[in-house]
Amino acid sequence: MLKIVKSSLVIAASTLAFSHAAQADDINDALANICTIVQADDKDELRKKMRRVQSDFRLKLRDYYTGVSCGGQSLIRTALESNAVEVGTLLVKKMPSKDLKQPEADGKTLQAWIAEKGLQNSPISEELASRI
C-alpha cells in the first residue's frame, strides 16, 4: 500500500513538472512576435495579444513585461525608439505606476533613460510623466 502511495506521488510530481515546462514554452510562443507588433505600432494587434495571454495563461502585462526583451530593450523603450505612439501610450496606461518607477534591466528608470536619449517631447514620455 505504501509503495502505491509513493509511486502516485512521484508520478503526480513529475507530471506537474512537465506541464509547467510545457506551459512556459506555450507562453514564449504566445509572446513570440510582440516586439514586431510594438515596432509596427499596431495597437489592435497588441490588445489581441494581451487578451490572449491573459485568457490562456492568466497573466497580465506586469507579469511578463520584465521577461520580454526587444533587442535588449523593454517594450516601452522599444516603442519610444520606434516612435510607436499608440502602442507606447497603451503600454504605459496598462502598467502599474509603481512598476513604471522601477529601474529596468540596465539599472535606469524609464524617466532617466528618456532624459538620456532626449525623448522628453514624445507623447509616450508625456503619458509616462502624467502616470508617475
Q: Which of 53, 62, 55 is nearest to 98 (CA)?
A: 62
Q: Indicate the pTM of the whole model.
A: 0.74
Phi then psi for 52, rounded to 5 degrees? Answer: -65, -45
Distance CA 88, CA 72 (A): 17
The neighbour count for residue 128, using CB atoms within 10 Å, is 26
pLDDT tens digits along 63-117 = 888 888 888 888 888 999 898 999 999 998 988 888 888 888 888 888 888 888 8
Residue 8 confidence (pLDDT) above 50? no
- Whole-number pLDDT of residue 24: 57
d(CA 35, CA 123): 20
pLDDT in tens, 22-69: 455 666 776 778 888 889 989 999 899 889 888 888 888 888 888 888
Q: Which amino acid is at 65?
A: Y
In sequence order, the 6+-apart residues with CB closer than 8 A to the CB of 74 are: 65, 66, 68, 104, 105, 110
